[in-house]
Amino acid sequence: MAELDRLIHEPARLRILTILAGVEAADFNFLLNTLGLTKGNLSSHIDRLEKAGYVKVEKSFNGRVPHTEFQITPEGREALEEYWRQLDSIRNLGSKAEEKE
Amino acid sequence: MASRKSTQSADPREIIQWTRRYAQSRTIYFLIQWCLIVFVICIIGLVASLTQQAYTAGNKSLFYTSVVFLSITFFFFIWISVSRWTAEVVWQITLWFYGREGFVSPEENTRSKQLPRWVIALIGLMLVYHIFGAILISFRYLHLQYLQPFSAIILVPVLCVLIYYQGLGFWAWLWPVLYGLHAILLLAGIPISFPSPWFLLNIMVPIFGYGLIAILVGHVYSRYALWKLKTVTRQGLEIDNNEEIPEEK
């Protein structure tokens, strides 16, 4: 059995990717407000997801105010689906073992 | 990472579902547009009424002045309906309202990318149909009381098609459903129409009233969806934010 993707397995990153999987795009404030993380913590998680190619970051300006938007990439979506497939199979193995006991 | 407790207890499908529901129910954008359109229509209505009164009273100077003002208001209405400036202003106000919550756009939906030609043709047909209805009324082939049911025959399917192609939330469906029900109740003889001289309200109130109800329902639902989303997302996410995130191996 393949190992779980440790980058996605981290709870905050998993939630960031899951939220982004449900929408076309979300900005920094939305993720901050929904997850309740600090700015530094959220930036750090986003940075890792971006480096892994799972999230696309788009920076722009609303007037003079900087605006950062995030989108899940096809690779990110695929990795997230694979992660849940693997987790489900682990859960199934666990429940089968319980039944045998 | 001492304060990180249970981690993956939230069901991901729930997070995705509530994120989608929230994004689809953010209706402030529609509410601002609604206010703008109703405001301009009220001005047009007032000026039209003034024009009619001036004509009846035989006051030519007031009549010509109000005709000019009516034309200006009408062109202003067309301009705000199509101008990019209006769209930008409405968008900026929307962002201001949602400032603290942040920006989120509903899932990319191929249906909403571009309306098919037959849908655009249907909208054109709807306009022609309503002009035809107005002609029927002016020649007394159709009583004003039946204008709303007459309008519902085409407006309900057109609204349904538009809502489907724009991928809006459940709240949007309330509009055609209530408009259709109103028409059925009128035809069944239920006394829900405005008497003369307020006959025109029989079409205006259902169109804009049910639209407003749908928008407000959507807004209330978006508050609930956001609360649910935060609850589901933060389940098992008890992380000490002051902690440094360790490097993955």
| pLDDT number for residue B239 | 56
Q: In whole angstroms, what is the distance from residue A46 CA to residue A40 CA? A: 10
pLDDT band at B10 (very low <50, low <70, confident <90, very high): low
- Contact between B242 and A38 using a beta-carbon 8 Å cutoff: yes
Q: Which residue has the tokens 């407790």?
A: B5
Structure tokens at A25: 């795009």
A61-101 confidence digits (pLDDT tens)? 877 788 899 999 999 999 999 998 888 888 888 777 777 66
- Residue B2 banded pLDDT, cuts 50, 70, 90: very low
Within 63-92 of A, beta carbons closer than 8 Å to B belong to: 67, 69, 84, 87
pLDDT value of residue B108: 60
* Spatial separation of the C-alpha atoms in residues A47 and A89, rounded to whole Å: 29
What's the mean pLDDT when you consider all of chain B? 84
Q: Which residues of B84-111 are buried (b: 16+ CB within 10 A; e: fewer)?
A: eeeeeebeebbbeebeebbbbebbeeee
More confident residue, B217 or B134: B217
Domains present along chain A, CATH in parentheses:
6-100 (1.10.10.10)
pLDDT tens sequence across B39-73: 888 888 888 888 888 888 888 898 899 889 888 88
Contact between residue B221 and residue B169 where contact means Cβ atoms under 8 Å apart: yes
Distance from CA of A98 to the nearest CA of B (A): 20
| Partners of residue A26 in chain B, C-beta under 8 Å | 102-105
First to last CA, chain B: 15
Q: Is A37 on the interface with B (CB under 8 A)?
A: yes
Residue B85 has pLDDT above 50, yes or no: yes
| Contact residues, chain A, for B241 at CB < 8 Å | 37-38, 40-41
User: Predicted confidence band at B247 (pLDDT cuts at 50, 70, 90)?
Assistant: very low
Q: Is A59 on the interface with B (CB under 8 A)?
A: no
Collect all residues of chain B within an 8 Å Cβ-Cβ radius of residue A27: 102-104
Q: What are phi and psi of B9, to 5 degrees?
A: -75, -25
Mean pLDDT of chain A: 89
Token pair for B53: 């009164």
The upper half-sphere exposure of residue B62, i.e. CA atoms within 13 Å in the direction of its Cβ, equals 13
Collapsed DSSP state (helix, strand, coil) of residue B149: helix
Q: What is the CA radius of gyration of chain A?
A: 16
- For chain A, give the percent of residues with pLDDT over 90: 62
pLDDT of residue B110: 45
Helix residue ranges, H only, chain B: 12-24, 28-57, 60-82, 84-97, 110-113, 117-138, 147-166, 170-187, 201-204, 210-234
Which chain A residues touch B100 with a CB distance below 8 Å? 29, 33
* CA dihedral over B134, B135, B139, B142, signed as positive or negative: negative
